[in-house]
Amino acid sequence: MDQAQSLREYMHRFNDQQQKPHTSRVITITSGKGGVGKSNFTLNFALGLKAVGKRVIILDLDLSTANINILMGITPRYSLVEVLHQRKYIRDVIEQGTEGIEYISGGLEIQDLLELDQIKLSFFWSQIQELQTYADFILLDTGAGVSKELVDFILASDETILVTTPEPTAMADSYAVLKTVLHFSQQAPKFRLVVNRAQTYREAAETSRSLQNACSHFLKLHLKTLGCLMEDNHVRQSVRSQTPFFISYPNCSASKSIKQIVYSYLPDLEEHSSVATTGIRGFFEKIISLGKSS
């Protein structure tokens, strides 16, 4: 059975369950260093999920170099901070981007959550609860590099996608992220690896195998590879035009790779559907708990 057939069967089964209550799956997408294409992957992966009928919200938690809005050529009017301080409802801060993809500018730090009084916290929970069943997936685009804040995001998420390139520095920094997270967690979070901008499939496979072996040997961690994207000039052109390559060049190598990743990801996710998800409220509750304990 090919992966396209597997995805069709997956969608057929899930269409029968559309009316059932569900909880959004929260996925942190991060990288060990900047410049590896993390935000570009996040946006186009979101579009790939949307193309097969999934409702996706991107929450930009990269405080230093937020790029999601730039990649779509939009300027967010508000951020989640407006909700924190009761100035806006959650529906007011959801921006409509390319092809109707929905996007929320974060603009907050963990300390902002810890300093909320009970009234503001209750309002925030009521608004976050609306997202709980609104989206199938909430993708968190985070800052690159290792920080306590990133560790908390990863530990609070349902799973994490780690984006790297074959460059030795990118691989070393990716390994550093994994090692640091495991230092703070007794139970290994779920990670998936995406190798971006590989020159050949062999290079992508070698990169994946090298990180997997290091994680298995030194960290006792099973690192599963989600997929890879080859170096593709269409990606650079799409960044310049501020239109995601999945839309502007649907038949380019990078777009085909995104489709392949979606085709692999969703059926695999169904096999583990019995595992409970925290949802976006559970994510923020864990963030507050981790912040108070540090």
For 62-103, the three-class secondary structure string (H helix, E strand, C coil) is CCCCCCHHHHHCCCCCCEHHHHHCCCCCHHHCCEECHHHCEE
How confident is the model at residue 263, as a pLDDT? Answer: 95
Q: Which residues contact 199 (CB under 8 A, 6 or more apart)?
A: 166, 230, 231
For position 178, what pLDDT does the model report?
96
Residue 232 is predicted with a pLDDT of 98
CATH 3.40.50.300 fits 38-158+232-293, yes or no: yes
Question: What is the average pLDDT across 180-195?
Answer: 92
**Cα 129 from Cα 23, distance rounded (Å):** 10
Give strand ranges (E) for 98-222. Answer: 102-105, 137-141, 159-164, 191-198
For residue 20, pLDDT beyond 60: no
pLDDT of amino acid 11: 56
Q: What is the per-residue DSSP string for 144-172?
A: SS--HHHHHHHHHSSEEEEEE-SSHHHHH
The model's pLDDT over 103-151, given as tens digits with 9 standing for 90+, comes to: 999 888 888 889 999 999 999 999 999 998 899 999 999 988 888 889 9
Domain boundaries, the chain: 38-158+232-293
For strand 137-141 and strand 95-96, is the pairing parallel, antiparallel, or unpaired?
A: unpaired
The overall average pLDDT reported for the chain is 90
Question: What tokens does 176 get?
Answer: 């550093």
N-to-C CA span, the chain:
48
Residue at token pair 């997202």:
131
Tokens of 129: 């609860």
Phi, psi of 24, deg, nearest 5: -60, 145
Using a pLDDT cut of 90, give the percent of the chain over it.
74
pLDDT band at residue 272 under the 50/70/90 scheme: low
